[in-house]
Amino acid sequence: MACTAETLAAALRAAATVIAEHRAELIDLDRAIGDADHGENLDRGFTAIVSALDAMAPETPETPAAVAKLAATTLISKVGGAAGPLYGTAFLRASVKLGDTTEVDGPLLVEALRAALEGVQARGKAVGGDATMVDALIPAVSAAEEASGEDIAAILTAAADAADKGAESTVDLVPRKGRASYLGERAKGHLDPGARSTALLLRAFAEAAK
């Protein structure tokens, strides 16, 4: 089944619910190695996305790209810290890749995920092993590319599975980017909140696609 503007909007609503459910967890993860605002910021951002979608109801943008751009601009304008610019850039780069198509197939979805990763890396200057959201995104995109011949639900499930493992890998890393990097070795042993939220979002999208 292809992804349309309506199904992407539904996936964003599902993601907002998941972020709200895990808000306290993300705050706690960030409190250990950051400034404890990741869960609050993301929850605010995705709540704002839902509000923006509601404001358009019963109309929905005509293309998935328009929905992704709406998510991007909302996150960039409403979310503080690193989360807003990074996730906003991810959605914005994905929207550019999606173009004006009204139905996104598996291969185009994979291209959009790759564009999102490249946008995050361009914005945050992080690479694999830095203990950031990139450590969840890199394996997620690789898994999506390997599953590109499958349907969208299977592609996103593969990405979410890989993101879960990538996020867990940050526990054994010494952060080299962001506020956590100030702690050096003391940050080792903690799950990166951005990697965790990336895994949560991909899982929410995968479940919505099913």
Residue type, 34: G
Average pLDDT, integer, range 80-95: 93
- d(Cα 205, Cα 49) in Å, to the nearest integer? 15
Lowest mean pLDDT among 40-44, 76-80, 120-124, 145-149: 76-80
193 contacts 164 by C-beta, under 8 angstroms: no
- d(Cα 175, Cα 121) in Å, to the nearest integer? 15
pLDDT at 105: 96
Average pLDDT, integer, range 95-120: 97
Global pTM exceeds 0.85: yes
pLDDT at 23: 97
17-28 residue pLDDT tens: 999 999 999 999
How confident is residue 125, by pLDDT bands cut at 50, 70 and 90? very high
Backbone angles phi, psi at 58, to 5 degrees: -85, 0
pLDDT at 153: 97
Average pLDDT, integer, range 189-194: 86
Q: What is the DSSP string of 18-60?
A: HHHHTHHHHHHHHHHHS-S-HHHHHHHHHHHHHHHHHHHTT--
Give residues with Cβ within 8 angstroms of 109, minimum separation 6.
3, 144, 152, 155, 156
Q: Is the pLDDT of residue 148 over 90?
A: yes
Average pLDDT over the chain, rounded to whole?
92
Average pLDDT, integer, range 174-200: 74
How many residues would you count in the chain? 210
